[in-house]
């Protein structure tokens, strides 16, 4: 009779566990059967009524029942916990299509981005960058660059003068003299910066614009070195394997002087001026022109960006409309 | 310069189309900007570089084509028909200043008839962009376009004494030029004078007094060579540019002076505009020597970068009119044509040969050899770092120009003088910026008016000052912000706070950390551009290197922005100088931190700086960091009082701290705050 009672109790407990719906129910079941006032404890208390020889056996049975019930409880608990977590996570679902928190983010100006690309390309080719002043001396902007006195070449350089000897540089080439008076060849130099010319502002002209200027002096430098360097530079800037074309042009500081174009996306695009550094300039800095020669080339930063991005109005760069700036 | 193709072809034996001619000329250095259709066929618009005055004519352009096509050189047509009748007139020409005039040819034409030039001539002039005037004027213009030699016609009977004197003007001499303007000449200007006074400004413009008119019977035709620099200076000084001065300042071939006069006489005769007489004068006191230059074919190959056979080089040069005076084993001595003063040394000849042979043959090669290490400038590197840093906190970079007009914002700038542009053409471009503020303000305002947000911009650029020491140019970084800098968000707890003084100051602190300059000081500023209670001068080592503040409401009124406008500006060059010190590494402590808060209550007038230094003064070695985490004001803590919450982090490099020693440090700090700042502590 007692044996049957314990068996029944176990069967009842296991059934209760099996049908428990949630952790709260399961906890109540645990208390009901295994708690200090629970059914199994009650069974244990009846041990005193048994004959002495039966007591150990009965005790062992109650204990093993306890164990199997608590094992069952534990596995059921794991099962229910998993289920409840799943339900909770399901309830915590959010609309992942709403935008994220709005962090402010600034961008760099397209001219800065272009200068960065120019620098990357030229530094990779071994060019050292130097800066020159925007408020430049007449001597560096013109005289040192082999501009003949009162020459019509000045007509192409409408200049902002501050006084008789100071002006706003019309070209970054003005740096050449500053470098050559301090350094001996060989060298490969480059500079970027702002230039000024008195021009009426329209879609292709501005009184303020930016240039990159590159020059090097070494033994045996020729027009072929210039062409190859321009090809490599233009390929780095515009991508692909661009073709370079020279056309004779005149700049007092180079001889031969050319303007160069690249063949890009099916057409020839004029990029800037170039040539071999005029021997008059090299000689004025004590460089032996029988041993050394050099080349120089320059181009507009705006021009590079306009070609790369199909921008058709130079004025946009200094206007700083946010729609334009955010585009790049 | 515009020239009809049929005119050019008169001198070049070629079947080439106008497109081919345009391409050939462009690739040889005479850029054809466009080809225009006209009554007499296509017209080329050619840009001639300033060194090539010799190409400013049909014959000049034809010479280039002939050199490329290996055709014989074109020559100026001649065949003057001289009336056998001897004229009863004489001309006397005297060149007094032979340094400015090396040749002067004068010819006399009698029975001048006032009638229009022939149709074919008018058509060529019109195609070249010139207006036909009358027979004589048209002939002089026509010959100038054909030969490059400007001519001038005087009414002989109006020349006092029948004389021409070429001399520098006397001080104070005046002349009324053909454009009706009375001009005062200076002693540097060359004048064509009669026996008494100037009748023309040499090479620039004639005078009204000896001008030809419908009643002129006898004409004196002038063809001369004037010194290019003299003509250029005179024309610039008088602000008078003419087709003649344009050509003279680019050098006109002295050896064509006579031929051009003859050509004009031929046309005058053929067109029935007058009788050309035998009376002529050709003063040629200074023969301009042809340059002699030694040319080494091997050197040409070195410079051009590829091997050109010697015969090919010499052929190209011969085609251009270079005359060999003798050939040695490794060099040839050349005589340069009289029309090419731009050819001065060997490299110029190399260029000539190279361009006629064609630059397309130059191969592509990369320089080899030891050279400099490629790198950016130190300031370039630092600017890049700062740009990225400021953009990362939400400001958009802009680039504005450095020239600006004087305005309220500019005038109020406290430091130095503005550098003015001499004889500025417009007030908008009359001086250089001393501060980045006006440019940043303009951009913020423009975007605000267009409804673009956020208004948060920065710029890195040069600013300029005139000081007692001269001109100063330095690189500055500046930023402006107004209203909400962060974009609007649907997330409710995202702070949508408007720009204020502390936002601008925060960015200054970001910049100083990026430059490794931690010890900037901020002190009250009297810069009138800013709110007097919400602006600060930024000092480094006691020197002012910048400013931060809220714009003065009076300045804000000038613009469309309603919110507070905050601004900062820093001298980057001073920062880089200070930031180049190497940072010494101190090994990291392995022991834990203890963080304690204290909340001193002080009078509102006591600046945080004073509280901070009172904490630092105690300087227990174990105090690692001080942060202010709250500033509270309100009636609960008393009128004109504020409560600061300071979070103090303690750590030792060599042991785990105990509660007791941290408490002791805190006690000392509290005591000092009470003493120095009259602070009170709750509880």
CATH for B629: 3.30.70.380
Q: Among A124, A244, A250, select the one facing B49 at the smallest CB separation.
A: A250
Mean pLDDT value of segment B28-52:
95
Q: For residue A130, give the chain B residue with the closest CA.
A: B377
- On the question of pLDDT at A221 being above 80, the answer is yes
Pairing, β B565-571 against β B470-482 = antiparallel
- On the question of pLDDT at B551 being above 60, the answer is yes
A49-52 long-range CB contacts below 8 Å, 24 or more apart? A50/A2
Which three-class secondary structure state does DSSP give residue B265?
helix
Put simply, the answer to whether B399 touches A109 (Cβ < 8 Å) is: yes
Could you give the CA distance from residue B497 to residue B484 in angstroms, rounded to a whole number? 6
Q: Are the C-beta atoms of residues A217 and A237 closer than 8 Å to each other?
A: no
Could you give the CA distance from residue B34 to residue B18 in angstroms, rounded to a whole number? 11
Q: Per the domain annotation, does B370 fall within a domain? A: no
CA of B28, closest CA in chain A: separation in Å? 6
Could you give the CA distance from residue A170 to residue A11 in angstroms, rounded to a whole number? 101
> In this complex, is the C-beta atom of A248 within 8 Å of any C-beta atom belonging to chain B?
yes
Judging contacts by C-beta atoms under 8 Å, the chain B residues touching residue A153 are 50-51
Q: Tokens 């970068």 correspond to what residue?
A: B305
Which 3-state string (H, E, C) describes B424-470?
Answer: CCCHHHCEECCCCHHHHHHHHHHHHHCCCCCEEEEEEEEEEEEECCE
pLDDT tens track for A141-163: 999 999 988 888 887 778 999 99
The domain that contains B300 carries what CATH number? 3.30.56.10
Say if residue B119 is in the same domain as residue B258. yes
User: CA geometry: angle at B465 spanning B461 and B467, to 5°?
Assistant: 155
- On the question of pLDDT at B290 being above 70, the answer is yes
Q: Per the domain annotation, does B557 fall within a domain? A: yes
Q: Among A105, A256, A323, select the one facing B354 at the smallest CB separation.
A: A256
Say if residue B63 is in the same domain as residue B98. no
Put simply, the answer to whether B50 touches A244 (Cβ < 8 Å) is: no
% of residues, chain B, pLDDT over 90 = 78
Put simply, the answer to whether B387 touches A108 (Cβ < 8 Å) is: yes
Classify A110-325 by CATH class: alpha beta
Comparing A88-92, B90-94, B196-200, B420-424, the range with the smallest average pLDDT is B420-424
- On the question of pLDDT at B683 being above 70, the answer is no
Judging contacts by C-beta atoms under 8 Å, the chain B residues touching residue A221 are 367
Q: Is B216 exposed, middle or buried (CB count within 10 Å of its CB: 0-12, 13-18, 19+)?
A: buried
**A288-317 residues touching B, CB cutoff 8 A:** 293, 317
Say if residue B121 is in the same domain as residue B183. yes
User: CA geometry: angle at B291 spanning B290 and B293, to 5°?
Assistant: 140
For residue A1, the model assigns a pLDDT of 41
Contacts of B519 (CB under 8 A, 6+ apart): B540
Report in angstroms the alpha-carbon separations of A190 from A140, A187, B60, B679.
16, 10, 38, 59
Peptide linkage before A52 cis (omega within 30 of 0): no
Q: Among A102, A221, A257, select the one facing B487 at the smallest CB separation.
A: A102
> In this complex, is the C-beta atom of A124 within 8 Å of any C-beta atom belonging to chain B?
yes
> In this complex, is the C-beta atom of B26 within 8 Å of any C-beta atom belonging to chain A?
yes
> In this complex, is the C-beta atom of B598 within 8 Å of any C-beta atom belonging to chain A?
no
> In this complex, is the C-beta atom of B467 within 8 Å of any C-beta atom belonging to chain A?
no
Say if residue B211 is in the same domain as residue B176. yes
Q: Among A162, A186, A323, select the one facing B369 at the smallest CB separation.
A: A186
B625: containing domain = 594-677
Judging contacts by C-beta atoms under 8 Å, the chain A residues touching residue B372 are 126-128, 186-189
> Which two three-digit tokens encode residue B1?
């310069």
Put simply, the answer to whether B489 touches A99 (Cβ < 8 Å) is: yes
- On the question of pLDDT at A262 being above 90, the answer is yes
Q: Are the C-beta atoms of residues A238 and A307 closer than 8 Å to each other?
A: yes
- On the question of pLDDT at B169 being above 70, the answer is yes
The number of domains in chain B is: 5
Q: Among B351, B432, B450, select the one facing A256 at the smallest CB separation.
A: B351
Put simply, the answer to whether A222 touches B304 (Cβ < 8 Å) is: yes
Q: Per the domain annotation, does B523 fall within a domain? A: yes
Mean pLDDT value of segment B373-389:
93
Q: Per the domain annotation, does B587 fall within a domain? A: no
Q: Is B537 exposed, middle or buried (CB count within 10 Å of its CB: 0-12, 13-18, 19+)?
A: buried
Judging contacts by C-beta atoms under 8 Å, the chain A residues touching residue B345 are 279
Torsion of CA B176, B182, B187, B192, to 10 degrees: -10
Mean pLDDT value of segment A260-287:
94
- On the question of pLDDT at B91 being above 50, the answer is yes
> In this complex, is the C-beta atom of B405 within 8 Å of any C-beta atom belonging to chain A?
no
> In this complex, is the C-beta atom of B457 within 8 Å of any C-beta atom belonging to chain A?
yes
Could you give the CA distance from residue A23 to residue A73 in angstroms, rounded to a whole number? 10
Question: How many contacts (CB atoms, under 8 Å) link A and B?
Answer: 254
Contacts of B137 (CB under 8 A, 6+ apart): B153, B212
> In this complex, is the C-beta atom of B243 within 8 Å of any C-beta atom belonging to chain A?
no
DSSP-assigned letter for residue B680: B
Could you give the CA distance from residue B409 to residue B567 in angstroms, rounded to a whole number? 13
Q: Among A112, A150, A257, select the one facing B387 at the smallest CB separation.
A: A112
Which three-class secondary structure state does DSSP give residue B164?
strand
CA of A165, closest CA in chain B: separation in Å? 11
pLDDT tens track for A223-237: 999 999 999 999 999
Judging contacts by C-beta atoms under 8 Å, the chain A residues touching residue B64 are none
Buried b (16+ CB within 10 A) or exposed e, B548-568: bbbbbeebbeebebeebbbbb
pLDDT tens track for B513-529: 888 887 899 999 988 89
> In this complex, is the C-beta atom of B470 within 8 Å of any C-beta atom belonging to chain A?
no
- pLDDT-based confidence at B628, cuts 50/70/90? very high
Put simply, the answer to whether B392 touches A105 (Cβ < 8 Å) is: yes
E strands present in B308-448? 323-327, 332-335, 396-397, 403-404, 431-432
Domain stop point among B578, B606, B638: B578
B82-86 long-range CB contacts below 8 Å, 24 or more apart? B82/B265, B82/B276, B82/B277, B82/B278, B83/B110, B83/B275, B83/B276, B83/B277, B85/B275, B85/B277, B86/B277, B86/B278
**B310-369 residues touching A, CB cutoff 8 A:** 345, 347-348, 350-351, 354-355, 359-360, 362-367, 369
Q: Per the domain annotation, does B79 fall within a domain? A: no
- On the question of pLDDT at B489 being above 60, the answer is yes
- On the question of pLDDT at A303 being above 70, the answer is yes
Average per-residue pLDDT for chain A: 92
Average per-residue pLDDT for chain B: 92
Contacts of B680 (CB under 8 A, 6+ apart): B600, B601, B602, B674
Q: For residue B464, give the chain A residue with the closest CA.
A: A135
The domain that contains B178 carries what CATH number? 3.50.40.10
Q: Among A168, A218, A256, select the one facing B371 at the smallest CB separation.
A: A218
Which three-class secondary structure state does DSSP give residue B568?
strand
User: CA geometry: angle at A317 spanning A315 and A320, to 5°?
Assistant: 105
Say if residue B333 is in the same domain as residue B230. no
> In this complex, is the C-beta atom of B85 within 8 Å of any C-beta atom belonging to chain A?
no
> In this complex, is the C-beta atom of B533 within 8 Å of any C-beta atom belonging to chain A?
no
- pLDDT-based confidence at B494, cuts 50/70/90? low
Put simply, the answer to whether B369 touches A112 (Cβ < 8 Å) is: no
pLDDT tens track for B328-346: 999 999 999 999 999 999 9
Q: Are the C-beta atoms of residues B266 and B273 closer than 8 Å to each other?
A: no
Which three-class secondary structure state does DSSP give residue B493?
coil
- On the question of pLDDT at A119 being above 90, the answer is yes
Say if residue B328 is in the same domain as residue B212. no
Q: Per the domain annotation, does B369 fall within a domain? A: no
CA of B489, closest CA in chain A: separation in Å? 6
Judging contacts by C-beta atoms under 8 Å, the chain B residues touching residue A166 are 471
Could you give the CA distance from residue A271 to residue A60 in angstroms, rounded to a whole number? 98
Q: Are the C-beta atoms of residues B589 and B652 closer than 8 Å to each other?
A: yes
User: CA geometry: angle at B587 spanning B583 and B590, to 5°?
Assistant: 145
CA of A88, closest CA in chain B: separation in Å? 23
Q: Among A109, A123, A249, select the one facing B374 at the smallest CB separation.
A: A123
**A67-106 residues touching B, CB cutoff 8 A:** 98-99, 101-106
Mutate to test the interface with A, among B399, B428, B441, B481 (most CBs of A within 10 A): B399
Cβ count near A204 (within 10 Å):
13
Put simply, the answer to whether B450 touches A257 (Cβ < 8 Å) is: no
Say if residue B154 is in the same domain as residue B248. yes
Maximum distance among all Cα pairs of chain B, rounded to whole angstroms = 131
pLDDT tens track for A160-181: 999 999 999 999 999 999 999 9
Mean pLDDT value of segment B249-276:
94
Rounded to two decimals, the ipTM of the complex is 0.90
E strands present in chain A? 128-129, 135-137, 166-168, 187-196, 208-219, 243-248, 254-264, 267-277, 292-300
Closest residue by Cα to residue A188 from A233, A230, A127: A127
> Which two three-digit tokens encode residue A66?
């306890």
Say if residue B565 is in the same domain as residue B425. yes
Could you give the CA distance from residue B444 to residue B441 in angstroms, rounded to a whole number? 5
Put simply, the answer to whether B49 touches A166 (Cβ < 8 Å) is: no
Q: Tokens 């707890």 correspond to what residue?
A: B493
Contacts of A174 (CB under 8 A, 6+ apart): A132, A136, A140, A141, A144, A145
> Which two three-digit tokens encode residue A16?
């209760």
- pLDDT-based confidence at B396, cuts 50/70/90? very high
CA of B161, closest CA in chain A: separation in Å? 36
Q: Are the C-beta atoms of residues B377 and B367 closer than 8 Å to each other?
A: no
């Amino acid at each position: 009779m007692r044996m049957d009672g314990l068996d029944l109790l176990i069967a009842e407990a296991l059934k209760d566990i099996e049908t428990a719906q949630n952790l709260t129910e399961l906890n109540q079941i645990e208390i009901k059967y295994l708690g200090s006032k629970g059914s199994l404890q009650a069974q244990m208390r009846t041990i005193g009524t048994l004959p002495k020889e039966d007591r150990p056996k009965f005790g062992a049975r109650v204990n093993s029942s306890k164990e199997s019930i608590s094992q069952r409880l534990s596995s059921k608990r794991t099962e229910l916990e998993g289920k409840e977590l799943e339900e909770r996570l399901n309830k915590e679902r959010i609309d992942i299509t709403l935008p994220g928190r709005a962090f402010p983010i600034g961008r760099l100006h397209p001219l800065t981005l272009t200068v960065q690309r120019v620098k990357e390309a030229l530094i990779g080719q071994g060019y050292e960058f130097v800066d020159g002043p925007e408020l430049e001396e007449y001597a560096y902007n013109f005289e040192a660059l082999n501009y003949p006195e009162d020459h019509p070449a000045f007509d192409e350089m409408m200049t902002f003068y501050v006084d008789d000897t100071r002006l706003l540089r019309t070209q970054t080439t003005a740096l050449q003299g500053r470098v050559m008076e301090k350094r001996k060849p060989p060298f490969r130099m480059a500079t970027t910066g702002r230039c000024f010319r008195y021009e009426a502002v329209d879609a292709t002209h501005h009184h303020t614009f930016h240039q990159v200027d590159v020059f090097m002096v070494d033994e045996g430098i020729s027009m072929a070195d210039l062409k190859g360097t321009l090809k490599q530079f233009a390929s780095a800037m515009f991508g692909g394997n661009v073709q370079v074309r020279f056309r004779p042009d005149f700049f007092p500081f180079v001889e031969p002087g050319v303007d160069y174009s690249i063949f890009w996306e099916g057409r020839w695009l004029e990029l800037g001026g170039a040539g071999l550094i005029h021997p008059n300039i090299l000689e004025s800095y004590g460089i032996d022109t029988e041993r050394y020669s050099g080349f120089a080339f320059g181009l507009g930063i705006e021009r590079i960006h306009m070609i790369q991005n199909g921008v058709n109005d130079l004025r946009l760069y200094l206007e700083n409309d946010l729609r334009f700036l955010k585009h790049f | 310069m515009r020239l009809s193709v049929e005119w050019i072809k008169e001198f070049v034996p070629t079947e080439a189309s106008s497109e081919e001619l345009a391409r050939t000329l462009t690739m040889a250095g005479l850029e054809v900007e466009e080809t225009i259709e006209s009554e007499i066929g296509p017209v080329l618009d050619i840009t001639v570089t300033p060194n090539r005055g010799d190409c400013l004519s049909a014959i000049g352009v034809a010479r280039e084509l002939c050199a490329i096509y290996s055709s014989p050189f074109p020559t100026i047509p001649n065949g003057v028909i001289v009336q056998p009748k001897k004229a009863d007139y004489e001309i006397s020409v005297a060149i007094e200043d032979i340094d400015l005039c090396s040749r002067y040819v004068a010819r006399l034409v009698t029975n001048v008839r006032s009638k229009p030039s022939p149709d074919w001539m008018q058509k060529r002039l019109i195609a070249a962009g010139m207006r036909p005037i009358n027979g004589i004027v048209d002939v002089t213009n026509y010959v100038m376009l054909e030969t490059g030699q400007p001519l001038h016609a005087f009414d002989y009977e109006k020349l006092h004494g029948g004389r021409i004197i070429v001399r520098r003007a006397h001080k104070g001499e005046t002349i009324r030029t053909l454009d009706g303007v009375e001009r005062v000449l200076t002693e540097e200007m060359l004048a064509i004078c009669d026996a008494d006074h100037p009748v023309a400004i040499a090479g620039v413009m004639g005078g009204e007094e000896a001008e030809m008119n419908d009643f002129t019977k006898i004409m004196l035709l002038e063809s001369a060579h004037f010194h290019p620099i003299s003509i250029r200076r005179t024309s610039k000084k008088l602000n008078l540019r003419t087709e003649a001065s344009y050509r003279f300042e680019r050098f006109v071939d002295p050896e064509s002076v006579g031929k051009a006069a003859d050509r004009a006489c031929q046309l005058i005769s053929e067109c029935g505009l007058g009788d050309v007489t035998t009376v002529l004068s050709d003063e040629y006191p200074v023969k301009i020597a042809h340059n002699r230059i030694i040319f080494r074919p091997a050197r040409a190959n070195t410079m051009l970068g590829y091997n050109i056979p010697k015969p090919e080089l010499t052929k190209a040069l011969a085609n251009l009119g270079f005359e060999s005076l003798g050939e040695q084993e490794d060099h040839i001595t050349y005589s340069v044509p009289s029309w090419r003063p731009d050819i001065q040394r060997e490299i110029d000849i190399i260029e000539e040969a190279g361009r006629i042979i064609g630059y397309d043959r130059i191969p592509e090669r990369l320089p080899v050899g030891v050279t400099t290490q490629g790198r950016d400038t130190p300031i370039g590197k630092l600017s890049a770092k700062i740009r990225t840093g400021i953009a990362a906190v939400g400001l958009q970079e802009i680039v504005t120009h450095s020239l600006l007009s004087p305005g309220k914002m500019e005038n109020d700038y406290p430091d130095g003088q503005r550098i003015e542009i001499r004889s500025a053409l417009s007030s908008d471009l009359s001086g250089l910026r001393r501060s980045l503020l006006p440019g940043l303000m303009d951009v913020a305002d423009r975007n605000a008016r267009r409804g673009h947000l956020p208004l948060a911009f920065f710029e890195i650029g040069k600013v300029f000052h005139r000081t007692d020491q001269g001109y100063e140019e330095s690189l500055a970084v500046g930023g402006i912000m107004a209203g909400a800098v962060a974009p609007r968000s649907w997330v409710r707890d995202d702070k949508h706070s408007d720009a204020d003084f502390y936002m601008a100051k925060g960015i200054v602190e970001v910049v100083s950390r990026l430059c490794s300059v931690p010890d900037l000081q901020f002190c009250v500023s009297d810069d009138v551009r800013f709110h007097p209670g919400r602006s600060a001068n930024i000092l480094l080592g006691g020197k002012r290197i910048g400013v931060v503040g809220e714009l003065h409401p009076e300045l804000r009124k000038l613009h469309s922005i309603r919110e507070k406008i905050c601004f900062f500006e820093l001298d980057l060059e001073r920062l880089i100088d200070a930031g180049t010190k190497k940072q010494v590494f101190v090994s990291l402590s392995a022991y834990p931190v203890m963080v304690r808060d204290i909340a001193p209550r002080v009078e509102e007038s006591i600046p945080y700086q004073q509280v901070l230094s009172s904490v630092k003064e105690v300087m227990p070695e174990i105090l690692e960091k001080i942060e202010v985490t709250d500033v509270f004001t309100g009636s609960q803590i008393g009128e004109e009082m504020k409560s600061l919450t300071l979070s103090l982090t303690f750590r030792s490099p060599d042991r785990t701290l105990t509660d007791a020693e941290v408490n002791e440090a805190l006690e000392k700090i509290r005591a000092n705050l009470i003493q120095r700042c009259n602070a009170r502590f709750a509880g």
